[in-house]
Structure 1
Amino acid sequence: MRGITITYTYDGDEAEWTAATGAFIDAIDNDPQAAGKFTYQVAVADDGVTRFHWGRWDGAETLAHVQSQPYFKDFAAKVREFAGGAPNATGHDIAAKTGGW
């Protein structure tokens, strides 16, 4: 299983950030080719401005599908906007995890 961790700071309109992240997660959940194969989580650190995004997917085909969708392209642009440029992004292989997807 592959994954990515994205980090940046954002101190703008919280409602806009919440709406954008929620719309992206809803789009994944409603995409029959991605649901259950691509997961996404977002978090706000205790400092209130540091943002974390964690994506996980089952294989290259799923990632390619998600990246080709308009919802992905729109959200990637919003994340760059929220981050004030390119956010920090680190790809990784999942070495171990708790049960469940």
Structure 2
Amino acid sequence: MRGITITYKYNGNEEDWQTAVSDFIAAIDSDPEVVGKFTYQVATADDDETRFHWGRWDSAETLAHVQSQKYFNTFAGKVRDFAGGTPSATGHDILHKTNGW
């Protein structure tokens, strides 16, 4: 399983940020091609500015599908805007995980 961790600082309009994240996650959850194959989580740090995004997918094909969707391109643009440029992004292989959420 592959994954990515994205981090950036954001201290703008919280409602705009929350809406963008909610819309993106709803789009993923509605995409029958990625159900059970792609997950996305978003968190804020205790400083209320640092944002973390974690994406996980089962194959290069799943990632390519997500990246080809309008919802992905819209959200990626918003994340760049929220980050004030290019956010930090680190790809990784997931080696071990628990079975729960």
TM-score by length of 1: 0.98
Alignment of 1:1-101 (within 5 A): 1-100=1-100
Consecutive unaligned residues of structure 1, counting only runs of 5 or more, are none
Percent identical residues? 71
For 1:100 and 1:65, the matched residues in 2 are separated by 26
For 1:24 and 1:56, the matched residues in 2 are separated by 14
How many matched pairs?
101
Consecutive unaligned residues of structure 2, counting only runs of 5 or more, are none
For 1:46, the aligned partner's letter is D
For 1:93, the aligned partner's letter is D
Give the alignment's Cα RMSD to 1 decimal. Answer: 0.9
For 2:57 and 2:64, the matched residues in 1 are separated by 10
For 1:70 and 1:88, the matched residues in 2 are separated by 22
For 1:42 and 1:61, the matched residues in 2 are separated by 23
Deviations 1:29-57 (A, max 9, x none): 00000121100000000000000000000
Instruction: List 4+ stretches of structure 1 deviating above 3 A.
Output: none
For 1:8 and 1:42, the matched residues in 2 are separated by 12
